[in-house]
């Protein structure tokens, strides 16, 4: 018999189709991407990242060779605080070059707690961001949860809602880990489907429950109808 999480994911995949991760790939590129936009989301980060890649390049030496003024001008495309984000990119590039000899991927070939600690040394990367990178790069089969869509599994009854984001995140992560196979493929599939559902229908405010394919499994829907 399939688990409840498996049934939910199957219904979501029937509705949205098979999903693939969006670029960029690679741990270093993902750290750079996360710092290219503010407020940080796919729209702002993608604009800043693509402009940076086109006009300067994203490799550590390319970023370090650019002037602060040049970086700031480019990062304005990714939203507010471009000066701060320009400084952060220089910090990231210098750390990767000086501490990891330009190879962040090798530094992540460690047990998850150590690899997570390496990533959290970079600006804006907390536990959710670090675990996403470990999962997406297949460095470890972490049961990562989309940082801006934690409400989605909680509404579905996957995990328990608390009064703090950190507790909500961990509760959801533990519930997913208990039911998902311990493989990068299975956990990446879950991440992408839950994230996409949060972006398309299960929005934080005004969820489109009438269009939702998983109301039969949704605790939130059942409690509000």
Residue 199 has pLDDT above 60, yes or no: yes
pLDDT of residue 96: 97
pLDDT of residue 1: 40
Residue 186 has pLDDT above 90, yes or no: yes
C-alpha span between 88 and 146 (Å, rounded): 23
When pLDDT is cut at 50, 70 and 90, the band that residue 184 belongs to is very high
Q: Into which CATH architecture does domain 4-20+142-224 fall?
A: Orthogonal Bundle (1.10)
pLDDT of residue 36: 97
Residue 2 has pLDDT above 80, yes or no: no
Residues 190-217: what's their mean pLDDT?
96
> In the CATH hierarchy, which fold is given to the domain comprising 27-136?
Endonuclease III; domain 1 (1.10.340)
> pLDDT digits over 140-172, tens only?
999 999 999 999 999 999 999 998 999 999 999
> pLDDT digits over 70-107, tens only?
999 999 999 999 999 999 999 999 999 999 999 999 99
Based on its alpha-carbon atoms, the radius of gyration of the chain, rounded to whole angstroms, reads 19
Domain ranges (residues) in the chain: 4-20+142-224, 27-136
Residues 122-133: what's their mean pLDDT?
97
Reading the block at residue 161, the tokens are 């809602």
> pLDDT digits over 42-71, tens only?
999 999 999 999 999 999 999 999 999 999
Beta strands in the chain (DSSP E): none
> pLDDT digits over 109-124, tens only?
999 999 999 999 999 9
> pLDDT digits over 10-20, tens only?
999 999 999 99
pLDDT of residue 177: 96
For residue 205, is it left (φ>0), alpha (ψ between -120 and 50) or beta? beta
Q: Which residue has the tokens 């909680």?
A: 154
Pairs from 111-114 (Cβ < 8 Å, separation ≥ 24) = 112/140, 112/142
pLDDT of residue 217: 93
Residue 175 has pLDDT above 60, yes or no: yes
Residues 172-195: what's their mean pLDDT?
97
C-alpha span between 214 and 20 (Å, rounded): 21
């Amino acid at each position: 018999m399939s688990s409840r999480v498996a049934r939910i994911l199957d219904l979501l995949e029937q509705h949205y189709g098979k999903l693939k991760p969006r670029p960029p790939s690679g741990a270093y590129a993902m750290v750079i991407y996360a710092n290219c936009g503010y407020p940080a989301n796919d729209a702002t980060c993608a604009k800043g990242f693509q402009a940076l890649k086109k006009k300067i390049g994203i490799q550590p030496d390319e970023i370090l060779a650019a002037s602060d003024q040049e970086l700031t001008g480019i990062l304005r495309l990714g939203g507010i605080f471009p000066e701060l984000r320009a400084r952060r990119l220089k910090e990231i590039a210098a750390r990767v070059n000086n501490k990891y000899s330009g190879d962040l991927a090798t530094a992540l070939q460690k047990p998850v707690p150590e690899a997570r600690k390496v990533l959290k040394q970079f600006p804006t990367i907390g536990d959710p961001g670090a675990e996403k990178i470990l999962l997406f790069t297949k460095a470890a089969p972490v049961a990562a949860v989309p940082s801006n869509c934690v409400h989605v599994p909680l509404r579905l009854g996957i995990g328990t809602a608390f009064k703090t984001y950190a507790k909500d995140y961990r509760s959801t992560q533990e519930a997913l880990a208990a039911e998902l196979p311990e493989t990068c493929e299975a956990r990446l599939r879950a991440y992408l489907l839950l994230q996409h559902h949060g972006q398309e229908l299960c929005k934080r405010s005004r969820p489109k429950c009438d269009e939702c394919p998983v109301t039969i499994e949704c605790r939130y829907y059942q409690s509000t109808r």
